[in-house]
Structure 1
Amino acid sequence: MDDVDSARDRNGTGRRPRLEDVAARVGLSTASVSLVLRGVSGPSERTRQRVLKAAADLGYQVDRTASLLASRRTRLLGVMVDVHRPFHAELVEHLHTAAEAVGYDLVLSTQTRTRDEHTAVETLLAFRSEAMILLGPTVPADTLAALDRKSPVIAVGRRIADAALDVVRTADDDGVGQIVDHLVGLGHHAIAYVDGGKGVIATDRRRGYRTAMRHHGLDAYIRVLHGDHTEAAGERAARKLLDGDALPTAVVTYNDQSAIGVLAALARAGVAVPGEVSVAGYDDDTLSRLSCFNLTTVSQNAEEQARHAVAAAVERLDHGRTEPREVVLPPQLVIRGTTAEPA
Structure 2
Amino acid sequence: MPAPTIYDVARVAGVSKSLVSLVLQGSDRVSDASRRAVEEAIRELGYRPSRAASDLAARRTKLVGVLIDDYANPWFVDLLRGLHHVLGSDGFRVTVIDTATTSLAEDPVEGLLSMRADGIVVARDVPNALVAAASPPVVIAGTRDNVPPGIDAVANDDVLGAQLATDHLLGLGHRVIGHLSATGGAAAARRRSFVDVTAGSGARAVVTDYSGPATEHAGYDGTMRLLADHPEVTAIFAANDVMAIGALGAARDRGIDVPGQLSIVGYDNTLLARTRLINLTTVDDNGFGVGREAGRILRDRMSGAAPGPRSVTLPPALVTRGTTAAVP
SS of the residue corresponding to residue 326 of structure 2 reads: coil
Does residue 76 of structure 1 match 2:63? yes
Report the number of matched residues. 313
- Residue 328 of structure 1, CA deviation: 0.8
Taking the aligned partners of 1:339 and 1:106, their CA distance within structure 2 comes to 38
The code of the aligned residue for 1:223 comes to V
Q: Which residue of 2 aligns with 1:11?
A: none
The structural deviation recorded for 1:133 is 0.5
How far did 1:20 drift? 7.5
Structure 1 residue 150 displacement after superposition: 2.4
2:111 — aligned with what?
123
Distance 1:251 1:138 in 2: 29
Percentage of pairs with the same residue: 32
Distance 2:46 2:195 in 1: 63
CA RMSD of aligned residues (A): 3.2
Show CA shifts across 1:283-334 (max 9, x none).
Answer: 1122212222111111121221111111111222212546221111111211
Inter-partner Cα distance in structure 1 for 2:56 and 2:230: 67
Residue 230 (structure 1) aligns with: 215
Aligned twin of 1:263: 248
Shift in alpha-carbon separation, 1:116–1:33, aligned structure 2, 3 A: same
1:138-164 residue CA offsets vs partner (Å, 9 max, x unmatched): 446xx65433x4222111112567732
Q: Secondary structure at the match of 1:79?
A: strand
Task: Measure the CA separation in 2 of the matches of 1:117 and 1:233.
Answer: 26
Letter in 2 for 1:75: K
Any residues of structure 2 matched to 1:1-343 within 5 Å, and which?
5=1, 16=4, 18=6, 21=9, 30=20, 34=24, 58-82=45-69, 83-113=71-101, 115=103, 119-139=107-127, 144-147=130-133, 149-159=134-144, 163-196=149-182, 198-218=183-203, 221-227=204-210, 228-244=213-229, 246-321=231-306, 323-343=308-328
Residues 191 and 117 of structure 1: is their aligned pair in 2 closer, same or farther, counting only changes over 3 Å? farther
Which amino acid is the alignment partner of residue 16 of structure 1?
A: P
Q: CA deviation at 1:277?
A: 0.4
Shift of 1:241: 2.8
Aligned residue for 1:176, secondary structure, equals: helix
Contact 2:259 2:325 in 1 (8 A): yes
RCO higher in structure (CA 8 A, sep ≥6) = 2
Deviations 1:84-104 (A, max 9, x none): 322123322332232112332
CA distance in structure 2 between the aligned counterparts of 1:185 and 1:318, rounded to whole angstroms: 48
CA distance in 2, matches of 1:102, 1:231: 36
Cα gap change, 1:190/1:129 in structure 2, threshold over 3 Å: closer, same or farther?
same
Distance (whole Å) between structure 2 residues aligned to residue 277 and residue 314 of structure 1: 45
SS in 2 for 1:106: strand
**Cα-to-partner distance string for 1:122-145 (whole Å, 9 max, x where unaligned):** 2111111121101122446xx654
Measured after TM superposition, the shift of residue 271 of structure 1 is 0.5
Q: Distance in 2 between matches of 1:23 and 1:134?
A: 46
CA distance 1:283–1:56, change in 2 (3 Å): farther
Whole-Å Cα distance in 2 between the matches of residues 151 and 312 of structure 1?
A: 13
